Structure 1
């Protein structure tokens, strides 16, 4: 944009200079011709006055003076005689013999003709050569051209400074907007430039402050709501402690512990700023730990499982808590939406630029709708599980895909490079 503004200013300056300098150059040429013609006319009049006296010696002296001044003069006497510079009597001379004084342009230059009445008509011819008509014009044109170039350079400099004063604040506002889009809600614009651009910067700062306030209140609300869940979770733990069947108590206690861990994670995540990113983790270790946790329930429901994990460490740019929650969500979907006894498989492999986690089952598969959309569900659930998993994958630089395989549903999560 800065280049476009400078180009526009240069084009405007060029048009103004052309509109000013071209007529001025034509005027300079016309003035030079008029000046040379006026000089020749003055000498022609002086010689004509001498010729009217009839003194041949004085006439010869006047012609010599005019020649010394650079104006060749020829006096055509009555008949075919002439005095001064040799020249042919052209149409202009013949017209002047009728008693008219005139100026005629010829290939040899401009002729100034003065008729002198006496014993017959005498015609005084003063010739202005073409180079005299343009004397000083080239030098003046060169000076005008240099002045035009200097004005053009000055206009370019001023246009660049003006463009910079406009583009600088706009570029700063664009940079701040990109930082805001990246999660840096503390980014602010220092309003500068014309009033309109300062208004844009002020409005952007107000928008950033408003977004920051809304997100802060949302995080606090989620954290408060999650904190309230601790009371019923504590009550459940007390109920588990009161159970007589130790095996059932251990199984239910593990589920309550999982719920409590999830609540704690929600509180931590809600209070964590969106711009903060924790360190990555070893995907092999986290996935193995969560698969082992769900193995007890799989054994209880007679589910065959196939677990193939790449040897660690397999680093991924996801916090251990987020990856554990993702694995729990995918395995919970398997247990919630497939009949007991349905087999499932968990595969973790390395891929170029990251890692890939695949969770598949031999159940009925996904319905035809796009289940990656937030809130979409085909089995009466909230439909948020896959959306949470998708966001975790995308924040790591990867993606999530769902599809129906040959034996059932399949969820493929690609993680980015740490």
Structure 2
């Protein structure tokens, strides 16, 4: 925008200067020509009275005293002053007894015939060269060109200053909007510049405040809801401890502890400050192995064949362990909820050469429905619709097998720490 404003001012200034300087340059040249011709005519007119008297001696002295080259053609063929041959203009003036101004290759030729007392015609001729006709024109044009360039540069300087005064508040608004997009909700724009920009800055600040209030209220509601879950979780843990089967009691207690940790994580995340917090990564191999071992018990109870392929060593990823476990639990939970008992499933984790890993969850069920709703909170299967979204949030890339085809495959690309 700054460049466009400067270019607009430059174009406008140049057009105005052309409209003013071009006619002025033509006028200067015309004035120089008229001045040179006027001087020559004054010299000729000063000689005319002597030519009419027929006093050849006085006429010769007067012609030789002129600074302008003047030639006088006498009736007897003699020539006084600057040597020259009779030109067609001289012959025509003598025949018609009329003054002439003729343009030639050398300049402008002024011819004035004078009829003496005896009726004989004396012709006075002078030549105004091109140098005389354009004397001072080049210097005047150079001055005009320098003036034009100076005015253009001055216009560009003023336009740049004005454009900068307009662009600076816009740049500040853009910077504040990027800070807000980066979760820096305390960022506010300075209300400066033209009235329209001040109004936009005020609206952006109001929007930022409103977003901050809504997020704070949302965090409080989620934290309150999560806190309410602690009471039934405590009761569930007590029920697990009262089971007679030790293995069953341990399994239910472990699931209860996992749920309690997830609830605690939700409370902590919703009560964080506005500034984003960089969380530590985890070993994806260990997390996936632990969660597969947990779900293997349920898979055995429902007659499902569970196959896993994990790296032989650690696979560090830039995802917290709780978040990765929650994402895998959401995907496996969808498999158990939306496929019939006995459907085989597999979990694969492959380390990437450049760092990170790819987590794949697949099953032999009917696959995704043709009209799959993948938006947050949207579901076509009677669920909350948040399972895929939980998994999507931890992944740099999220791929699904085509809807309507048998078998569901979900791949999560996890970045390196």
> SS of the counterpart of 1:163?
helix
**Which ranges of structure 1 fall in alignment gaps of 5 or more residues?**
none
Name the CA shift for 1:406/1:17 in 2 (closer, same or farther; >3 Å): closer
1:228 positional shift: 1.9
Q: Indicate the residue corresponding to 2:372 in structure 1.
A: 370
Q: Indicate the residue corresponding to 1:165 in structure 2.
A: 165
**Which ranges of structure 2 fall in alignment gaps of 5 or more residues?**
none
1:105 pairs, out of 103, 106, 109, with 103
Deviations 1:376-413 (A, max 9, x none): 434322221012211221xxx32242457997322211
Distance (whole Å) between structure 2 residues aligned to residue 343 and residue 132 of structure 1? 107
Report if aligned partners of 1:371, 1:386 keep a CA contact under 8 Å in 2. no
Report if aligned partners of 1:307, 1:345 keep a CA contact under 8 Å in 2. yes
Say whether residues 1:328 and 2:332 are aligned partners: no
Q: Indicate the residue corresponding to 2:412 in structure 1.
A: 413
Distance (whole Å) between structure 1 residues aligned to residue 94 and residue 415 of structure 2? 101
Report if aligned partners of 1:285, 1:312 keep a CA contact under 8 Å in 2. no
Name the CA shift for 1:161/1:254 in 2 (closer, same or farther; >3 Å): same
Name the CA shift for 1:313/1:250 in 2 (closer, same or farther; >3 Å): closer
Q: Indicate the residue corresponding to 2:73 in structure 1.
A: 76
Report if aligned partners of 1:74, 1:87 keep a CA contact under 8 Å in 2. no
Name the CA shift for 1:384/1:87 in 2 (closer, same or farther; >3 Å): same
1:283 positional shift: 1.0
Deviations 1:52-73 (A, max 9, x none): 333212111111122xx1x221
Between 1:27-36 and 1:113-122, the stretch displaced more is 113-122
> SS of the counterpart of 1:172?
helix
> SS of the counterpart of 1:188?
coil
Distance (whole Å) between structure 2 residues aligned to residue 93 and residue 228 of structure 1? 124
Q: Indicate the residue corresponding to 2:49 in structure 1.
A: 49
Distance (whole Å) between structure 2 residues aligned to residue 159 and residue 406 of structure 1? 62
1:22 positional shift: 1.4
Distance (whole Å) between structure 1 residues aligned to residue 189 and residue 108 of structure 2? 72
Deviations 1:33-87 (A, max 9, x none): 1111111011101111222333212111111122xx1x22122334645432323
Report if aligned partners of 1:96, 1:102 keep a CA contact under 8 Å in 2. no
> SS of the counterpart of 1:327?
helix
Between 1:343-352 and 1:291-300, the stretch displaced more is 291-300
Aligned pair count reads 412
> SS of the counterpart of 2:375?
coil
1:159 positional shift: 2.8
Between 1:147-156 and 1:344-353, the stretch displaced more is 147-156
Name the CA shift for 1:220/1:93 in 2 (closer, same or farther; >3 Å): farther
Q: CA RMSD in A?
A: 2.7
**Residues 247-326 of structure 1 correspond to what in structure 2 (within 5 A)?**
248-272=248-272, 273=274, 275-326=276-327
Q: Indicate the residue corresponding to 1:215 in structure 2.
A: 215
Say whether residues 1:359 and 2:361 are aligned partners: yes
Normalized against structure 1, the TM-score is what? 0.88
Distance (whole Å) between structure 1 residues aligned to residue 393 and residue 303 of structure 2? 32
> SS of the counterpart of 2:65?
helix
Deviations 1:265-322 (A, max 9, x none): 2222222347333122211121122222223333333433222211332121211111
Distance (whole Å) between structure 1 residues aligned to residue 407 and residue 141 of structure 2? 88
Deviations 1:300-355 (A, max 9, x none): 33433222211332121211111110011112122222333433221111124421
Distance (whole Å) between structure 2 residues aligned to residue 216 and residue 259 of structure 1? 24
Name the CA shift for 1:105/1:378 in 2 (closer, same or farther; >3 Å): closer
Distance (whole Å) between structure 1 residues aligned to residue 242 and residue 286 of structure 2? 34
1:11 positional shift: 1.9
Deviations 1:227-270 (A, max 9, x none): 12223333333444455555554444344333323322222222
**Residues 146-161 of structure 1 correspond to what in structure 2 (within 5 A)?**
146-161=146-161
1:88 positional shift: 1.2
Distance (whole Å) between structure 2 residues aligned to residue 48 and residue 76 of structure 1? 12
> SS of the counterpart of 1:146?
helix
1:93 positional shift: 5.2
Distance (whole Å) between structure 2 residues aligned to residue 406 and residue 191 of structure 1? 55
> SS of the counterpart of 1:193?
coil
Q: Indicate the residue corresponding to 1:88 in structure 2.
A: 86
Q: Indicate the residue corresponding to 2:114 in structure 1.
A: 116
Distance (whole Å) between structure 2 residues aligned to residue 49 and residue 117 of structure 1? 10
> SS of the counterpart of 2:80?
strand
> SS of the counterpart of 1:160?
helix
Report if aligned partners of 2:93, 2:123 keep a CA contact under 8 Å in 1. no
Report if aligned partners of 2:348, 2:360 keep a CA contact under 8 Å in 1. yes
Name the CA shift for 1:404/1:27 in 2 (closer, same or farther; >3 Å): closer
Moved over 6 A (4+): 404-407
